[in-house]
């Protein structure tokens, strides 16, 4: 079956660093994605990993270990505007069908 787990909520301070973890189980792994979603808005793409290792994009980095079924999103120099939900998603291939499977999301609160 398919399963994606991530913490429900996290709190951090402005200027700090926060790491949001994600573990997954899927049969046809075809990439892992992180999205940011502000309340009442559409999810927006942050990062993509398909090979093991770290991908860095400005203040945001994402790591993947396929053997462990594990990823994390690292946010540096936190800003108030980073308060949002962060969704971990796996692109799964099953008999030629590609689906994006999402976790419940981690609601991040950034405090002044």
For the window 8-37, what string marks contact with other proteins as x by the rule CB under 8 A?
----------------------xx-x-x--
Q: Which stretch binds other proteins (CB under 8 A): 16-24, 40-48, 54-62, 73-81?
A: 40-48
Q: State the maximum Cα–Cα separation within the chain, in Å, rounded to a whole number.
A: 48
Interface pick for other proteins out of 105, 106, 108, 110 (rule CB under 8 A): 105
Using the minimum distance from each CB to other proteins, give the nearer residue, 67 or 97: 97
Residue in 18, 36, 103, 108 binding other proteins, rule: CB under 8 A: 103
The reply to whether 4 sits near other proteins by the rule CB under 8 A is: yes
Does the protein bind other proteins through residue 99 (CB under 8 A)?
yes
């Amino acid at each position: 079956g398919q399963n994606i787990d991530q913490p429900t909520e996290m709190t951090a301070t402005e200027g700090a660093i926060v790491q949001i973890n994600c573990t997954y189980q899927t049969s046809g792994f075809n990439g892992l994605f992180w999205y940011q979603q502000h309340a009442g808005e559409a999810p927006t793409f942050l990062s993509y990993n398909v090979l093991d290792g770290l991908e860095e994009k400005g203040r945001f980095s994402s790591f993947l270990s396929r053997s462990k079924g594990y990823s994390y999103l690292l946010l540096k120099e936190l800003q108030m505007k980073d308060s949002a939900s962060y969704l971990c998603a796996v692109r799964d291939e099953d008999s030629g069908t590609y689906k994006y499977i999402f976790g419940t999301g981690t609601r991040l609160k950034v405090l002044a």
